[in-house]
Amino acid sequence: MPSSSTLDLELLRTFIAVADSQSFAEAGQQLARTQSSVTQQMQRLEHSVGVALFQKQGRQKQLTDAGRQLLRRAREMLALNDDALNSLREDDLSGVLRIGSPHDIADTILPPILSRIARSAPRLRLEIDVGRSPFLMEDLQRGRIDMVISTREDPALEGFPLRTSPVWWICSAQYLHMPHAPLPLILVDEPSIYRRYALDALEQHRVPWRQAYLASNLIGVKAAIRAGLGVTARSMELLGPDMRVLGEKEGLPRLPDVTYHLWIRPNTHNLLVRKAYDLIRSNHEVAY
């Protein structure tokens, strides 16, 4: 029987660290605690809930069915707890925050981030600039926006990964693939990471192709896909109900994944940007 009817949030925080790292020792390093301290905390948590949460598999700690169920609840509880604390701590956070986002994740990755900011800093006014990653990165460097979500990497910037997504060959659901004909490509103007991924993969695997359509932005790419003009390489976020994915069974090579990062200028003196960035990062790490 459980010895307590109230779950300790600090135990749950340690529990999440162990589950993510699959190691008591690594979790201890992340939390600046000794391995024995982490072990004791997990023993207390198991005693509290009255069931085993871990099972040993080699050198790793795997979750039991009960552990996986608790992990989902633990993330939710800590997210609520941190939201409540942040809403009090950041109540004086006011002003304008300018965020840049690519078109393809404006309705997937971006909304949860905006929601977290709005819940924790209701007095903050948000201005959103939706555009192409390379140009948004230039705007960040020039100070036209405060932070940006981008697949581009820049060692001169400060940031962290939000999500890694697979890149697929995407076409209309009605598109008829002709495996022995040159692949009709829907491309976007340079610079584009997806254009580079597509052309490099096709050349490496000696797949013949032709340019069927050239667009300057994602709106044009989507229009060409829906018109059945060809195939494009894009992250999974682009895929809609009227589209489908082609792959190796159609003779197309696999494509590298992309990682979306949140970037700000390093050593920024804007306290508003720094606080908002730290708020997004802390909430993202709990939800992740």
Q: Express each pLDDT in 186-223 by its tens digit.
A: 998 888 889 999 999 999 999 999 999 998 888 899 99
* 185 and 243 assigned to the same domain: yes
* 197 and 251 assigned to the same domain: yes
Which amino acid type is present at position 234?
A: R
Mean pLDDT, 10 residues at a time, the chain of 288 residues? 69 88 80 85 90 81 88 84 59 77 86 83 86 88 90 87 91 92 92 92 94 89 93 91 92 93 81 82 57
Which residue bears the tokens 């010895």?
3
* 186 and 157 assigned to the same domain: no
* 146 and 172 assigned to the same domain: no
Percent helix / strand / coil, the chain, rounded to 5: 45, 25, 30
* 175 and 232 assigned to the same domain: yes
pLDDT single digits (tens) 111-125: 888 888 887 777 888
* 252 and 265 assigned to the same domain: no
* 171 and 252 assigned to the same domain: yes
* 141 and 176 assigned to the same domain: no
Question: Which structural domain range is residue 125 located in?
Answer: 90-162+260-285
Asked if 262 and 159 count as a contact pair (C-beta separation under 8 A), the reply is yes
In a domain, 83, yes or no: no
**CATH classification at residue 154:** 3.40.190.10
What are 151's two structure tokens? 């697949």
Task: Kindly provide the b/e burial profile for residues 23-35, where b requires at least 16 CB atoms within 10 angstroms of the residue's own CB.
Answer: bbebbbeebebee
Q: Determine if the pTM surpasses 0.85.
A: no
* 158 and 175 assigned to the same domain: no
What are 177's two structure tokens? 């693939």
Percent of the chain with pLDDT over 70: 91
Which amino acid type is present at position 276?
A: A
* 17 and 60 assigned to the same domain: yes
